[in-house]
Amino acid sequence: MSCQLGDPCWEAATARPLGLTYEADGAFEAAAEWLEEADKRCTRATDPYVALRVEILAAPVEVSQRLGRGEAAVALSREWISLAARAHIDMHVERAAGFLTKERLMSGALRTLKHRPSTEAPQLLLGGSRSS
């Protein structure tokens, strides 16, 4: 019905929950496709519904992460934080910043693990220190 109305915001508002439903069911590829479709439809008009676009940008960050697409998740989260800040949606600014911080810490821990002997890796992941 949203397509019959021809309203980009209603189309996006319909595509987003479809993507979230697929995500909840563990169908991450389908979720990513529907969330991408929601974003395309939301931005099709010259004056997109910014609050909806912020919500749409939030969801694919987690989906991309679950699909092992870390770089895509980081890029999407940067776009998410930027738009949320411009729209003064502080809750999303905090969530996006938290995601970026977590990703940075995780990637730093993984880099450290690559350069440590395998016997030290479990201690580092659990927050322990190297024993002398």
Asked if residue 130 is part of any domain, the answer here is: no
> Which residue is associated with the tokens 């969330």?
35
Q: Is residue 22 part of a domain?
A: yes
Distance CA 44, CA 4 (A): 16
- Tell me how many domains the chain contains: 1
Whole-prediction pTM: 0.54
Domain with 32 in it? 2-125
Asked, for residue 73, whether it belongs to a domain, the answer is yes
In a domain, 31, yes or no: yes
* pLDDT tens track for 39-58: 888 877 655 678 888 888 88
Residue 132 counted as domain residue:
no
pLDDT in tens, 87-120: 888 999 999 998 888 877 776 555 555 555 555 5
Identify whether 131 is part of a domain.
no
CA distance 29 to 94: 27
Look at residue 108 and tell me if it is in a domain. Answer: yes
The helix or strand, by DSSP H or E, that contains position 56, with its residue range, turns out to be helix 50-66
The CATH code of the domain that includes 49 is: 1.25.40.10
Amino acid at 61: V
Query: Do 97 and 81 contact (CB within 8 A), yes or no?
Result: yes
The amino acid at residue 52 is L
